[in-house]
Structure 1
């Protein structure tokens, strides 16, 4: 008879997500994971199948949370421009405060570009981010915040790309003034 699992899968995925986010996939060794999670390698393999399986779960959770947070944040402001500025400034603050925390989506796209499952998760997430922004831009256009001549889809694709670029530049530890200037320029695309 198999022993009952003695650890919380959700907590383990969350903890692993943080480690993968800081170090990336390749720099994260199995002994680090098992030590962080307080489990043996057999328990990790039984629960997730492999390091890849744990990474896939952590990446999926990170991506789902990213899409949900974006949707929440673009609905929170009085207008879309204010909501986007708040979101982007919060990203700057997070990157300046803790530049080592990184973005798991960016590291997945760059570090695991040869792994089909990872590439698919990144593609699905980028598509979901674009969809959330497109809907927000369509709502903004309906409220008169965006010119009828502007394409919500094109703007959403630009903003999706810009946000991921901000994550990359944040890792380069550029200063706050640089990032804030970039945000101002990006928001002018809504004019």
Structure 2
């Protein structure tokens, strides 16, 4: 007699992440999530609680696997402009990876946030908003550092500049979801960075 297949929570989470990434929280049905998980609905609920818990776990995994490398690129470059470029390029590479759904899970969900979410998606919306705010905060912190290092003019406020390049990242995600190539996204990055404020010499 064959043994029943053991439920693999890590594999189920990876599969669910792809569904949420492609379809969004509302668009991902429990039937599809259960189907890709390799287990039953009770096993999925036992591991993650419910659809909301599964999404929150998938978002956490997304940040660890796909956002963290771009943030590492942001921190590793000593020059401020080069750091922002490395961050955007690393993002573009992941947004256009043929082995992954296109674009950014966070940016795509953030674009669809409602002012008054329903009870069923209030926590996921809060989590997406918080994840997006963390990204913006890390970018702003890096720009503050760039200003302190003399990579930006003394009178340049980092906040609006962080808004600008955070918005560029969102635009790159949208372009990728519309089928634009990594080459096209890199051209957008180069255009955006031509406006980098240069300190007076």
TM-score by length of 2: 0.77
The residue that corresponds to 1:129 in the other structure is: 135
Contact 1:112 1:118 in 2 (8 A): no
Q: Which residue of 1 aligns with 2:3?
A: none
Shift of residue 188 of structure 1? 3.0
* 1:169 paired residue number: 175
Choose 148-157 or 101-110, whichever is displaced more.
101-110
Counterpart of 1:80 in structure 2 is 80
Aligned twin of 1:3: none
The equivalent residue for 1:139 is 145
Matching of residue 102 in structure 1 with residue 115 in structure 2: no
Deviation at 1:89, TM superposition (A): 2.5
Q: Do 2:52 and 2:124's aligned partners in 1 also have CA atoms closer than 8 Å?
A: no
Let me know the Cα RMSD of the aligned residues: 2.6
**Distance across 2 between alignment mates of 1:172 and 1:14:** 23
Report the secondary structure of 2:25's partner residue: coil
Deviation by residue 1:124-180 (Cα, 9 ceiling, x = unmatched): 122211211111111111221111111112211221122112101211123555433
Unaligned runs of 5+ in 2: 1-5
Contact 1:96 1:170 in 2 (8 A): yes
State how far apart, in whole Å, the 1-side matches of 2:172 and 2:84 are.
13
Alignment of 1:107-118 (within 5 A): 107-111=108-112, 113=114, 114=117, 115-118=121-124
Between the aligned partners of 1:94 and 1:64, the Cα distance in structure 2 is 13
Q: 1:78 and 1:180, CA in 2 relative to 1: closer, same or farther beyond 3 A?
A: same
Contact 2:19 2:28 in 1 (8 A): yes
Does the 8 Å contact 1:67/1:125 carry over to 2? no
